[in-house]
Structures are given as structure tokens and as C-alpha cells.
Amino acid sequence: MTTPPACPATQLHDLTALEQAAAVQARKVSPTELVEHSLARIEALDAGIGAFITVTPERALAAAADADRAVLAGGRLPPLHGVPTAIKDLNNTAGVRTTFGSAVLADFVPDVDDAVVTALAAAGTISLGKTNTPEFGFPCYTDNDVAGPTRCPWDTTRLAGGSSGGAAAAVAAGMLPFAQGSDGGGSIRIPAGINGLFGIKPSRGRVSNGPYNSEVTALGVQGPLARTVRDAAAMLDAMAGPVIGDPFWAPPLPRGETFLGAADRPVGRLRVGRYLDSGMPGADLDPEVRAAFEDASTLLASLGHEVEDLPGPPLTDGVFPAFEVVWALSGTTLPVPDAAAGRLRPLTRFLRDRGLALSAKDAMEAMFTLRLFARRFIQATSRYDVLLAPVCTLPPRPLGWFGADGDGAADFERQKRYAAFPAVYNVTGQPAVSVPLWWTAGGLPIGTMLVGRPADEATLIALAAQLEQARPWAHRHPAMW
């Protein structure tokens, strides 16, 4: 593949998040200048993208003014001081509308911040608002009755993926240097792959889901989307850490180590197990996806890693029915009264109805199946440092491709075949990333997934940084850049 030469940074949005932070620390640019520039980008571009549900310019500029004063006062500043970001609209933000992508909650304003929102603010970032997400985060694409679809900046006739589609599109279009997302079945990795970004689904328990911890299925985690590995690692450093009372705690890094530091360390020779069969019936791979996978395999081998096919038939085929049950089970606790259920989108209604029809025995058996599968899968693949697989089975889909017929069940079937690979690692709790190594002949990104051992984000970050150095991607931008 040929790649265009890197261009020198000429505007503030050309700077990475870490470059913006360094410029603030050196007093070469102010937080207010960064925030005003990002707000101007949103104003100019978002009508054609749909990355945001709510933009909060007054709050952001007030926070930037406070950040300016902190710079002038001298003293130690937090590591990401003054850098713009945004919060996915599945996360509570005190005093800011939080819709969960649903018209039923279009006017809901929480009085508490989620723990990840507090952590990112403590690291110095400034939120410009709430990024678009599908209704309650269920689909692997982003569209809703509040703000409409999020479009891929590389081709605005295509969907940006989901459920962190707004976050990914905002970063890919240069509205933000990085953004927070969440992932319950691929919701960071899918939009990262579609939009040419690097995204990290951390280990279960790495980032707190507090204070409510409504994710009782233990599938959902919070993570970063960014243009570079180092930016994503720095954001993960800011987000990571438990809150007292969390049910899951990932082992902390050794004292003195950081995820950002992992991006600068030698990775060594790794054993990589690769596979192309997801185990999902009917999930056939597009030739471009296969080409991206083979290219990543070749690149890893050229860097000295041992790449081999996983032996035997896929281990994942038996887990999909149980995952479907548990996914529907999460629809039973939506904050939606029965009288308002008719206002939900067809997919949400389908999942909610399916979940409410389950017996306690059905639910418990499915949960047990997932836990047992996770144990056996991790044991069966323990000889590998990293696993390699596609993210999606097809290139980015056109607007309306999933739900144009208005049938929630048919929509769900299309999503299962399209996103057949990522959800396994929400079940196992392993960290996984999407790496942007391939663009189609038509200029569409296709991400490839790398999966680490339990709680070993550091190796994934080190490996991804090696790939980024060998095949740089951050200079590749959509035409609207």
C-alpha cells in the first residue's frame, strides 16, 4: 500500500492531544485557544457529520478560562491540562443533558458525574459536550431519534459505527484530539476501525463504571479513541483506576509504570495467534477485510513476531446464543416506563421485549454459560501473547443499511453477522484494540483487532506503537480535515 507523505502541522487540530498538552505547559497556546478552535470545528463540520448530541460552549469556555488562570499562576498542572475532549452520551454528566440516545430521555439532566467524567476532568481535559450514541448503546452503528445518524467523515454516505460513533467521528474529523467511549460488544473497536483511529477496549475493571454500575452483565467498559497510540495510552492513564465499591478491579500497573510509558518500551518477540472464523453462522468476510487481516499478519511477521493460525475449529460458536440472551437481558432495566415503550426504536423494543420474556432460569443459565466460556477460552489461548482477528466482517455500511425495514429482529441479525468478532472479548474481559493499518481502494479505513492476555493492556499498547512506527497512520485524514 502506498501512503501519502506526512504534512507538517499548520493548525491546532493537526496537533495530537499530547502535543496540545505540551504546548499549554510551555505557554505556546492557551486552553481557551484550543477550546475555541475545537468549537469552531464543531460549528463548521458537525451539521454534516452528527458527532454531537449536545455541545456545551459556555461551560467549556468557562472551564478553559479557569485553566488559563491555572497556567498563569504557575505550579504543577495535570498532564492533559486544557486539552479538549467530549463525553459519550451514555455517561452521566452533572448539569448537562444526558439522553442515552433515546427520545424518551431527551430532556434528562443528571445531578451526578460518572466516575470516568470526574477522572478525565481531574487530568485536565475540558469537555465540549456529549457525543452521539445509538439508543442505550445497543447497536453497532450510531443513529437515534434525538440527533439522527453519525456519518463516517471518510465517506458521509456511510455510518460511523457504534455505539461510540459520535466520539470516533469527532476525532476523525479533527473536532477533538481524542474522546471517551465505551464498549459492551465492540462499541469502541468498531467505530475506531471504521474511522481510521486507534481505540482501546480495556480490561474489565480497569476503568470504573461507577457510581451506579448499572452494567450488571459485566460486559461494558470505558476506553479511549484517538488518532495515535500515545494519545490513547495517555487518556487511558487518565481514566484508569477503581472507585471504592467497584465489583471488578483490574490489577494496577507496577509502581512507576504508565500506559503511556508502555508505548515507548521495546515489545520483544511475541507469539501471535490469528483466526478468521468467528464461529458466527453466515458471517462471511468481505475480500477487503481478509486483505486487511493478511496485511496485518505479514507486517507482524516482518517485525519479528511469530504468527500462526489458531489450531482446530473456533471456540466461539457456542457462546453466541448465550450472549444474545444476556444482551437482551440488559434491556430489561432500561429507565423507560411501560407507557413510554412505544417511543423506543424498533431494535430497542425488540431487545427489551425479548429480555422481559426470559425466565430467571434462562437468564442465569446464559450468564453461567458466558462465565464458563470465558474461563475455557482464556485457558485454550493462553499460549499466545496476542490474538489477531478482524473487527468487522464488511467495510463501513451505508446509511440505513441495518434498520431500513423497521424490523428490530432483522436489524439485530444483520448486526450479528457484521460485528461477529469483538463481543467475545467483552465476555472474557480481555483487553483488545483496533489498529488502523488498511484503507480500501475507495479510501475507507478497515481496522484490525489485537487482543491481549487478561489485564495486559501494556503489551497491546507497546505492540500497537511498534506497528504505528512501522506503518504510520496519523497523517491520514478525510478530505474535510
**Where in the sequence numbering do the catalytic residues fall?**
88, 163, 187
11: closest CA among 37, 43, 44, 45? 37
Sheet holding 445-452, edge to edge: 178-183, 221-226, 198-201, 432-439, 445-452, 386-390, 271-274, 306-309
Name the grid cell of 121. 476532568
For residue 437, the SS3 value is strand
Instruction: Note whether 386 and 451 are within 8 A (CB).
Output: yes
Rounded Cα–Cα distance for residues 360 and 82 (Å) = 48
Q: How far is CA 309 from the centre of its chain?
A: 27
Residue identified by cell 427520545 is: 103
Residue identified by cell 440527533 is: 147
451: closest CA among 282, 304, 270? 270
DSSP string of 205-260?
TSB--TTT---TTS--EEEEEESSHHHHHHHHHHH-B--TT-S--PPPPPTT--HH
Residue 238, φ and ψ in degrees, nearest 5: -70, -35
Amino acid at 103: A
138: closest CA among 445, 296, 293, 352? 352
Instruction: Note whether 100 and 89 are within 8 A (CB).
Output: yes
From residue 434, alpha-carbon distances to 199, 228, 247, 472 in Å are 5, 12, 27, 15
Beta strands in 398-473 (DSSP E): 432-439, 445-452
Using CB atoms within 10 Å of the CB of residue 288, give its burial: 0 to 12 exposed, 13 to 18 middle, 19+ buried: middle
Rounded Cα–Cα distance for residues 373 and 380 (Å) = 10
Rounded Cα–Cα distance for residues 152 and 168 (Å) = 9
Residue 327, φ and ψ in degrees, nearest 5: -60, -45
Residue identified by cell 470505558 is: 222
